[in-house]
Structure 1
Amino acid sequence: MLQMIVTGLLCGGLLGFVMQRGRFCLTGGFRDMYIAKDNRMFYALLIAITVQSVGVFALIRLGLIQFNAGDFPWLATVLGSFIFGIGIILAGGCATGTWYRAGEGLIGSWIALFGYMAMAAMMKSGALVPVNDGIKEVAVPVNSIPETFGISAWPFIALLALITAGLVVKTLRKPKVAIPAMKPKRKGLNHLLFEKRWHPFVTAVLVGLIALLAWPLSEATGRMSGLGITTPSANILQYLVTGDGDKYINWGVFLVLGIFLGSFAAAKGSREFRFRAPDAKTAVSSFAGGLLMGFGASWAGGCSIGNGLVMTAMMTWQGWISLIFMILGTWTAAYFVYVRPRAKAKQNRSAASAAATA
């Protein structure tokens, strides 16, 4: 039990610290791909996936960890990921982003987090279990992409690494926008950790290494998996209601609690922590987004981390197809939440200006 607590909190703390300081937000990254035509955060995700994939398959090859891709519930993955993508726009952050932003004192993230935990708990062990399980019966027996083609995973990893390297090099060669340099107020390690702006690609490498570290640490406690957010989040609420620690408390629970603590430490150290209460409209949107996140992630078998980072690195159909539909869901919601209202407001201003001129 002590090993579970210490290693879970350690891994989660590192992840929360790095994500907070590096502003590693996949919701903003997916949204910016559509609205701002900025793909840097998506490329950062590819870096994290590649780092983890190389490391995990090396550990599997050495016999240090085990992995079974299982079957592929394609319909649940497609629908759930799309719904999850809509939810993260309304909530203002994905599952992991909600945990780390809650650590910054953002009350809206607390509201989204409660909705996310409650819906995931209902889907996994509550009244919505039949809804959650029924659609997953529509599945194909092979989830592993390499197994589908009958070859090793390494050619796919090499292809991913080449594509990622090409995109990163191309991005780094683009002319940089000059930003006035701020005079450092801190020195040495304190400046690097809490004041200096972290590059998204450096942050991505660290996230990938932490995701890799999660595998042996988790499996050492009997949990045969890497990073995961949805089920552990649901387990916290289920434990608080039932008190059944043997059933609901595992390494993943301490992982997500560690994310919160690590983010809190980073936010306090960088003087970014402060309680911020949302207005009523934002609070309702955050809660609705949290509910959609919990529903979608349960159907899809993972969130932006469980599917978008981990299952992609494991070269599964579930991971990559989930990532595609997650992004499509994000773009759909972004159109109705950001693009369409702005276009309508611009149109109204033009009409008002024309009327005033006339």
Structure 2
Amino acid sequence: MIQMLITGLFCGALLGFVMQRGRFCLTGGFRDMYLTKDNRMFYALLIAIAVQSVGVYTLIELGVFEFNAGTLPLLAIIVGSFIFGIGIVLAGGCATGTWYRAGEGLIGSWIALAGYMLMATIMKTGVLVPLNDKISSPQLSTNSIPETLGINVWILIGILVAIVGWIVYKEVTKPKVFIPSLKAKRTGLAHILFEKRWHPFVTAVLVGAIAVLAWPLSVATGRIGGLGITTPSANILQYLTTGDTAFINWGVFLVLGIFIGSFIAAKASREFRFRMPDVKTGINSFVGGNLMGFGASLAGGCSIGNGLVMTAMMTWQGWIALVFMILGTWTAVYFVFVRGRQKNKAMKASVKTA
């Protein structure tokens, strides 16, 4: 228990700190791909995936642990990931983003987190277990991309690294756009950690490195897996309502660590403050949180579990889930932002002509 407490909190705190300071928000990244054609955060995600893939498969080659991709519940992944994508727009953040934004004092994220934990628990051990099992029951025999294609996994990793390297080169060689920054109030390491704007690509490398670190730390406690948010979030509520210590695992301390790390970063950078949402935003946050919990439970992972970890493990589950998360996000963005603006313009026009 002590080992889980220390290493889980440590890894989570690192992740929460880095994500808060680097503003590593996949919801905003997926949204901006559609609204403003800004792909930088998506590129950052690819960097984190590539870093983790190289690191984790190196550990596997060294015999630190073994990984089995298992079977592929294709229907559940498609449906769940699409619903999850819709949910993160309404909630104002993905699963990990909700944890770290809660650490900043954003009450809307606390509301979303409550809905997320509640629905994930209902899906995993509550009345919706039969529905979850039924949708997940059609299984394809293999989930491993290299096994399906009959090639060595390092070929796929090499292709990914090459693509990411080309993207990074193209991005960093673009003409720089001058963005005025606030006058520095701190110097040295304090300025870098708590004041300086972090480049998304630097943040991505750090996130990828932490994702690699999570594997041996988690495996050492008997949990074969890396970063994961949905099941540990449900485990917290399951433990609180049943008192069963079997629900306490390394992942629980990981997600609690994300909250703590984000809180430390937000306080030190003077970004922490309690912010109460209006009624509409609060309702959207709770509904979005429930959709996240439903979708992530069904798909077997969230934007981190599937979008970062299972992609790095070169599974069909990860990459298919990532595609449908993005499609779900774009669908919600269209109806929430694009159609909303169109309605507002139409209403203003009708008022002027009245």
Distance across 2 between alignment mates of 1:182 and 1:114: 36
1:338 paired with 2:348, answer no
What's the counterpart of residue 316 of structure 1? Answer: 315
Distance across 1 between alignment mates of 2:36 and 2:168: 18
Which amino acid in 2 is paired with 1:219?
A: V
Greater CA drift, 64-73 or 252-261: 64-73
| Structure 1 residue 181: Cα displacement | 3.4
| Structure 1 residue 346: Cα displacement | 2.6
What's the counterpart of residue 22 of structure 1? Answer: 22
Distance across 2 between alignment mates of 1:21 and 1:207: 12
Structure 2 unaligned spans of 5+: none
Distance across 2 between alignment mates of 1:258 and 1:124: 23
Greater CA drift, 300-309 or 344-353: 344-353
What's the counterpart of residue 262 of structure 1? Answer: 261
Structure 1 unaligned spans of 5+: none
| Structure 1 residue 64: Cα displacement | 0.7
| Structure 1 residue 351: Cα displacement | 5.0
Distance across 2 between alignment mates of 1:162 and 1:50: 10
TM-score (norm 1): 0.97
Q: How does 1:226-265 map to 2 (within 5 A)?
A: 226-245=226-245, 247-265=246-264
Per-residue CA distance 1:102-160 (angstroms, 9 max, x = gap): 00000000000000000000100111110111111111010000000111101111111
Per-residue CA distance 1:295-324 (angstroms, 9 max, x = gap): 000000000000000000000000000000
Greater CA drift, 60-69 or 5-14: 60-69
Query: Any runs of at least 4 consecutive aligned residues in structure 1 with deviations exceeding 3 A, and if so which?
Result: 347-353
Distance across 1 between alignment mates of 2:303 and 2:182: 34
Q: Secondary structure at the match of 1:274?
A: coil
Which amino acid in 2 is paired with 1:229?
A: I
What's the counterpart of residue 225 of structure 2? Answer: 225
| Alignment: residue pair count | 354
Which amino acid in 2 is paired with 1:237?
A: L
User: What is the identity percentage for the equivalent residue pairs of Structure 1 and Structure 2?
Assistant: 73
Q: How does 1:28-107 map to 2 (within 5 A)?
A: 28-107=28-107
| Structure 1 residue 176: Cα displacement | 2.4
What's the counterpart of residue 302 of structure 2? Answer: 303
What's the counterpart of residue 278 of structure 1? Answer: 277
Per-residue CA distance 1:223-270 (angstroms, 9 max, x = gap): 00000000000000000000001x200000000000000000000000
Per-residue CA distance 1:32-76 (angstroms, 9 max, x = gap): 000010000000000000000000011101111211100000000
| Structure 1 residue 341: Cα displacement | 1.0
What's the counterpart of residue 191 of structure 2? Answer: 191
Which amino acid in 1 is paired with 2:6?
A: V
Distance across 2 between alignment mates of 1:65 and 1:200: 30
Which amino acid in 2 is paired with 1:290?
A: G
What's the counterpart of residue 155 of structure 1? Answer: 155
TM-score (norm 2): 0.98
Distance across 2 between alignment mates of 1:166 and 1:105: 38
Distance across 2 between alignment mates of 1:172 and 1:345: 38
| Structure 1 residue 350: Cα displacement | 4.3
Q: Secondary structure at the match of 2:228?
A: coil
Q: Secondary structure at the match of 1:273?
A: coil
